[in-house]
Amino acid sequence: EDQVTQSPEALRLQEGESSSLNCSYTVSGLRGLFWYRQDPGKGPEFLFTLYSAGEEKEKERLKATLTKKESFLHITAPKPEDSATYLCAVQARNYGQNFVFGPGTRLSVLP
């Protein structure tokens, strides 16, 4: 059974304090791993797609990396506006549109 776990469940950082969020997955044949950002009361917003181990993608203060068993979302010098819940999802090759989402990491960046 495909599974996605995320850690930590919640993370509080001071502004400028870099850290990483973890997404561990079990899937029979990974087609893609996705990161989304979700603000309170809103729908998730796409950030990155990673397709193969070793791949990295960057956007402003965020960098996503992928290994065969996990993905990391690195946040460098975060600002309060980076506060949100970050969701990870996997898509298996054999299951088409059947994405499996993790529970998310709730990030708070304090000024």
Partner 1 sequence: NAGVTQTPKFQVLKTGQSMTLQCAQDMNHEYMSWYRQDPGMGLRLIHYSVGAGITDQGEVPNGYNVSRSTTEDFPLRLLSAAPSQTSVYFCASSSQGDEQFFGPGTRLTVL
Interface residues toward partner 1, by CB under 8 A: 4, 31-32, 34, 36, 41-46, 49, 87, 89, 91, 96-104
**17/45 with CB nearer partner 1:** 45
The token pair that represents 49 in the structure block: 């797609």
CB of 75 vs partner 1, minimal distance in Å: 20
**98/108 with CB nearer partner 1:** 98
Amino acid at 5: T
CB of 44 vs partner 1, minimal distance in Å: 5
CA angle, 75 then 77 then 79, to 5°: 90
The token pair that represents 36 in the structure block: 């989304």
**57/61 with CB nearer partner 1:** 57
**41/54 with CB nearer partner 1:** 41
Rounded to whole angstroms, the Cα distance separating 100 from 56 reads 21
CB of 83 vs partner 1, minimal distance in Å: 18
CB of 88 vs partner 1, minimal distance in Å: 9
CB burial of residue 47 (10 Å; 0-12, 13-18, 19+): middle
Q: Are 36 and 47 in contact (CB under 8 A)?
A: yes
